[in-house]
Structure 1
Amino acid sequence: MSALEPLLEFLSIPSVSTDPRHQKDVRRAALWLKERLEVLGFRSELHETPLHPILYAERLLDPEAPTVLVYGHYDVQPPDPLELWESPPFSPTVREGRVYARGASDDKGQLWAHVAALEGLEARVNLKFLVEGEEEIGSPHLLPFVRAHREKLRADVVLVSDGAMFAPHTPTLTYGLRGLCYLEVRLQGARRDLHSGAFGGVAPNPIQALGWILARLKDGTTGRVLIPGFYDRVRPVSEEEKRLWPPLDEEALKGELGVEVLPGEEGYSPLERLWARPTLDPNGIFGGYQGEGSKTVIPAEAGLKLSMRLVPDQDPEEVADLAEAYLKALCPPGYRMEVRRLHGGKPVLTDPQSPPMRLMARALEEVWGRPPVYAREGGTIPVVAELQEALGAPVVLLGLGLNDDNLHAPNEKFDLVNLEKGILAIRRFHGLLAESG
């Protein structure tokens, strides 16, 4: 496949945005993509930020033609734990029709499909690319960039591929994304670590206090989040919308996860809990001794990282306020608590029947030989809500990955058949858009 070789080169760049040691690599990935777009006739600009640059590129052929803005990101998650990878994360390897590498599906492979689709494209459409290097850290500089450059980014449709198909061989149009509120909670006890024999029984233990707090964040029977006001702004899902959803094979999902039950909020189906209900999950807990053997220490500090996935019409800042107030109310005497707001994003709903969505549905059906299914997605892409608000343009969310692509985990992959068909469908979409414009 002609699109594969440059993708392997792109994937070999360790553009890990969370790790300062890879700052030059992140920039190298931006420059690599900039060069490829310039070869295709784009005028490109690299906008510097305090962290990683934003790449903007445009190829404007005709002021009367429709304009498409493609969004994606070139940064990737850290590859750890390295020992669980079957092949090195930044030495892309093709096995059994899949490419394995960090960023293969999230998001370099899917982004590359949009670039590769332009080879030989004859459709008369204007194209713009907005590609960031900070998506994996919450897009802190892209959102202000979008607000400041509304006219530059103006388009008739926004096209995003940074998600998953509902199932293998099932073309999917996503019309909803959950939002995100991500916090870090730190508890301070004594001013230094203490010997548990000398001070056990009188010294505060932040790990124990975190356990008490965690136990009061969710109801252990119903699975409901206990933060006061958390559900006040949750928009109910209509029965009409639920009829759009494909059936979920719950047994297959249990098998994929290696579990016997699918826990969650009582009274809602697994699919509704995945797509249309808010969540609260501790993502990490730290404190005390983590090494081999024993060390009888009462730690001075402990903490946890906490993510809340949000749905329309929840606001991440409002939820952060509610969560912080509740956490501080739960903090037992004798401890000092700090709540840090790491990043967030607003939830998104788009019109599944907008004209661009209908055109993409037609393109997918022509390429895959079956009509697409319509789905929401549980993940978050912070900039989508911002683009929707700032530009007022319809958004088409075309996921080309799969739910078992191991995003953010070892052995991330991208199916090459999805790459190939994705390229064809995107190319066909541009043709249909030009004809309709």
Structure 2
Amino acid sequence: MWLYLLIFSILSQQSVFGQFGDFEQEYGYVTVRQGAHMFYWLFYTTADVPNYTDRPLIVWLQGGPGGSSTGIGNFEILGPMDLSLQERNYTWVKNFNVLFVDNPVGTGFSYVDELQFLTTTNDQIALDFVELMRGFYADNPMFEGVDLYIYGQSYGGKMAVDMALRMHEAEEAGTIRSNLRGIAMGNAWISPVDATLTWGPLLLAAGLVNQEGYEAIQASAREAERLFNEGQYVASTNQWAATQSVVFRHTTNVDFYNILTKMPTNLPDSRSDLELSRDMLIHNKPYSTPVDDRNEYNLQYLMNNLVKPALEIPDHVSWGSQSNAVFAYQNGDFMKPVTEGIEKLLNETNIIVTKYNGNLDLICDTPGQILWVDRLKWPGAEAYRNATRQPIWEDGKLEGYYKAHGNFRFFWINVAGHSVPRDNPAGSNAFLRDMTSFG
């Protein structure tokens, strides 16, 4: 890492450093609306192919809302370099062109001139994304017509559904020359009420709470459901956050992103229930601690002190400074499901719809995903339910299971929590190959 910094310093002084690291890349801003500016960062594939465009383009979306794809998705999960600025051996860039997008506007290096330009609904996020992709293709016309796949984690999976609908609509109208082939929803916030109502049963089955704890969690979760059913969406969001705190109390702070681990014993802290839940989702981890490993960067420092000058980000933009506001502006939409959008994709398009889940996740737990999947109304619903679940073998190791029919598939991934590509790269290869034929 220190050699990397020396090279960075020398090249910066010579004013010839136009990228971050040695990987071929492209980056830029697209003004998606008046006052709303979205940032993207593309890494070209390192696959041995005659042209970059011989491999698909994958868009990676982070959760939150307010989590940065260019920061978290890139350096913490699947980009070409990790937080030590060392090459990641399982990076998706080995097989694909990967486009990290800071969305919604206000996330990461994306920004709005005034907070009133932030989005408040999933559909608004989707419309901004279409404009972002129009700008991306204008800057990078060689990718027009190249197979496009959208992979979203957590809230990113929710965003991907409406993005696919709006992208398909634009393709049909001939207003964008993309070739969207599929979307993947990883441990996604698709039906929030279903997820919240299954926390208690999962924790009880795993032996992490007793009957008293289970009943307390369920009572709080059912109150979130009641508020949602009454149309009190912001109140339901607040009650969802309160339910998380009930879980903390009765499990001695189980890690919501991996039920086999614990959070620090000083949580919950002085933050409110909603603030704690917000910070968990934005930062893709249940808590923030100083980085003890002297060879690993703090992400906030890395993005604002090394990446920002290298990519010539405007001086007035601070990575992540508007993320809390992004989350707050989505409060009324946060608990709303996007299952109708998934049904529309299955009923009206040929777009591949993939759901994958790490079985150790709690916040977007697998039992909650299965509930909404089994309720989907589409022509292949019965055939999917009756399909045989197949094992996923990678190098002689059972990495999970999958079930598929038509253009819908579900992947259960073993030994993985909320961030499957990071927790189980081998298992991730299965759903990548299934959708793209590469991986």
Q: What is the TM-score of this pair, normalised by structure 1?
A: 0.33
TM-score w.r.t. length of structure 2: 0.32
Greater RCO structure (CA 8 Å; 6+ sep)? 1
More helix by share: 2
Greater fraction of residues in strand: 1
